[in-house]
Amino acid sequence: MPRTDLPLVKQIISSFVDVPQPGAREIALHPCDECRELDKAFAPFEFRDIPDEIVASHYNSLPLLSARALHHYLPAYLLYAIAHPDSDVFEFVLYQLSPQKKEEDSATVAYRLERLALFTPEQRSTVLSYLDWATQTDEGQWHAEDIQRAREVWGAAA
C-alpha cells in the first residue's frame, strides 16, 4: 500500500470504506478453476487489508470479479497501482476502467453499465482523481488514449 498520508490515497480509502465486502461465493463471476482460485484468494480480505502479493498475482483478474466484488476490491488495485506505477496492475486497471477501442456490442455495454451502477458519484469522482494522477506518471503517458476513454466513461457516469 502507498503512503496513507497522500491526498489521493486518503480519498480512495474514504470513498470506499463503507462498501461491503462480498461473500466468499460472490467474488468471481464463474465457477471455473480460475474464478474459484480468485474467490479463495480474496475472500479473507477487505480491500484495505489485501496483501500486495495477491493483487499483483491477480493483476489481470478484474474482469472476472462480480460487480459487487469489483466495487469492493477496485480500491485495492488503485492503491497498488499508486505504489507501483510501473506494474502490470497499473496497466490492467486502466484497461478495466476504459472501454475497448472497437465498437461494443449490446451485451458488453450492459455488462459495463451494470458494473458502473454500484459506484456512487463520490466514488466515480475518486476514480477520475485517480485517472488525473495516472496522466502524470511515465506509464500514463503511454496510455493516454485509455485514460481519456476512462475519463469519458467515468465522467459520464458521475
- CA nearest neighbour of 17 among 113, 108, 122: 122
Residue 80, SS3 per DSSP? helix
pTM of the full structure: 0.92
Q: What is the pLDDT along the chain (158 residues), one digit of tens a residue?
A: 666 678 999 999 999 999 999 998 899 988 889 999 999 999 999 999 999 999 999 999 999 999 999 999 999 999 999 999 999 999 999 999 987 666 667 777 777 778 889 999 999 999 999 999 999 999 888 999 999 989 988 987 65
The H or E element that residue 114 is part of is: helix 106-117
Q: Give the three cell numbers for residue 128.
A: 477520475
Instruction: Report the pLDDT value the prediction gives residue 90, as an integer from 0 to 100.
Output: 96
